[in-house]
A and B are shown apart, each in its own frame.
Chain A
Amino acid sequence: MSLLDLQRDMRGWLTREDEAITARLGVGADPGLRVYLNNYRAQLVACLEESFARTRDWIGGEAFEHAVIAHIARVPPSSWTLDAYPRDFPATLALLYPDDPEVAELAWLDMALGEAFVGPDSPMLDEDLTRIDWDRAVLRFTPTLDLAKLTTNVTAIWTALADGDTPPGVAMLPEAGAMIVWRYAGLSRFRAIGEVERQALLSARQGLPFAALCAAMIDAYGGDEGIVQAGQMLGQWLGDGLIAGIETR
């Protein structure tokens, strides 16, 4: 048996309990193989439990355990780092809870907060805002900024669970928006945003100059209201620590 064959058989044992490896190594290998299988599963269970604490609080320990077992069977780990393993768990929960969109959204929030915590560093904004040429300004966002579609009140649910309070019941939002996650001053943060801010944020992150963003807002909402909305968003983004730099082009 080649080393490659042995390693493929061991993978089959760990991921599918394929007994080809037992046949190769003999029945005497069974206790050892069970130790490795237990170690493999225990690592992944611990990783998901640690990464999705609020999701576990929400659906309950037993349901979470079933979801973890389903996920480990559906998605074997592929990255060298266990930090990557949580990334596909929200998709598994979306399959398991097709009628409960808050479950996958809550899981995404858990996952994204963890990713932001170890995401790339960026310098704090150090600009004299009164000296910026806003007609030529392009906003540079923190590299930890991530966003996902939001249809439910999971941001309120997450906050209540984290605070040890009774969470509110699930409520669908009047219109879909997004939740954003980022790290500022060493802490992962999140906020629910509406569709207007989501579009503006995506455009600005792709390099749309702030003046063009203002023009788009004026086109959509009229002169005064458009300018007010653009200014409020800029103020919010600056206050949140979402903007890591301002370039002029």
Chain B
Amino acid sequence: MPISRHAFGLGLRKPHYAEFLDHRVAVDFVEVISENFMVDGGRPREILRDVRARYPVALHGVSMSIGSADGLDPAYLARLRALVDEIDPLFVSDHLCWTRIEGFNSHDLLPLPYTVEALDLVCANIGRAQDALGRTMLIENPSSYLDIAPAEMTEWEFLAVMCARTGCDLLLDVNNIFVSATNHGFDPLAYLDGVPHDRIRQIHLAGHSQGSELLIDTHDQPVPTSVWDLYAHVLPRLGSVATMIERDDAIPPLHELLAELAVARRIAAGDARVAV
């Protein structure tokens, strides 16, 4: 579902629940991890209902496993559909990855090879997921620590064909592009110029950490200059998108995240003097 203007939001995390519920926080939307609320009942569902009464909510999943060679989990889809029906989210998203195979669930976003076989399978799974959910999904580009050769296309070519064939939209994670580009030695600007701009509905901004040999997508740092630069490069090429700061570890006070979000707002407003 396209939005009419740029929107700016935050990932809703436990340390900030009270502030979001007790005050009107200056965000256009919040994003929650779908699986945290795909529970039978109790306080988490109450909190989500209360938050939804105050803010638009995007549902962001980590366990659909859209790239599983043995297909999707119908029980998972049914639970997600129930949550979608209750929350009426702004977006429903998950990752271009796989997490589960033959009864094993890694709970990590594992990489796919960029082959025709994988593309056919991912497109079929997205089609089934969108049918089950009754709506268009957003698929997020992953961070990657493995370059599975031989690739038959680039990641951005994969995403472009995937969108064209399934009608799905994109959640563009700019930090993930920077991490993968650094780890695998491709040009992040070529990536940003190669993805289908008209399919990008949402953007994630986050930080990363340097591992012993690879850059790691840790979400425990402020958005670095390198990621802000890529965001500033791609944003003028897009229609209205929903941008959010994603922080999952070393979560700072809410005002620090709102200050980061203000930087995104200034970039979107075309302020060339933004200091990042």
Seen from chain A, the residues whose Cβ lies within 8 Å of a Cβ on chain B are 2-4, 6-8, 10-11, 14-15, 25-26, 29, 31-33, 35-36, 39-40, 43-44, 76-83, 116-121, 143, 183, 186
Contacts and interface: CB of A to CB of B under 8 A. Distances in A.
Nearest to A14: B106
Contacts of B204: none
A118 B76 contact: no
18 contacts: A2-B117, A3-B67, A3-B69, A4-B69, A7-B68, A11-B104, A14-B108, A31-B212, A32-B144, A32-B147, A35-B145, A40-B107, A77-B107, A78-B105, A82-B35, A117-B42, A118-B40, A183-B42
Contacts of A40: 106-108
Nearest to B40: A120
Interface in B67-94: 67-70, 73, 75-76
Contacts of A78: 103-105
Contacts of B41: 118-121
B42 A11 contact: no
Interface of B: 35, 38-46, 63, 65, 67-70, 73, 75-76, 98, 100-108, 110, 112-113, 115, 117-118, 121, 144-149, 183, 211-214, 216
A140 B102 CA distance: 38
Nearest to A117: B42
Given A15-B104, A40-B107, A31 B213 contact: yes
Contacts, number: 110
A25 B144 CA distance: 15
A118 B117 contact: no
Given A3-B118, A119-B41, A79 B105 contact: yes
Contact of A77 (B35, B42, B76, B105): B105
A118 B42 contact: yes
Contacts of B145: 31-33, 35-36
Given A7-B98, A25-B146, A82 B107 contact: yes
B206 to A, nearest CB: 16
A4 B106 contact: no
Contacts of B115: 3
B43 to A, nearest CB: 6
B98 A121 contact: no
B110 A8 contact: no
B106 A81 contact: no
Contact of A121 (B38, B42, B103): B42
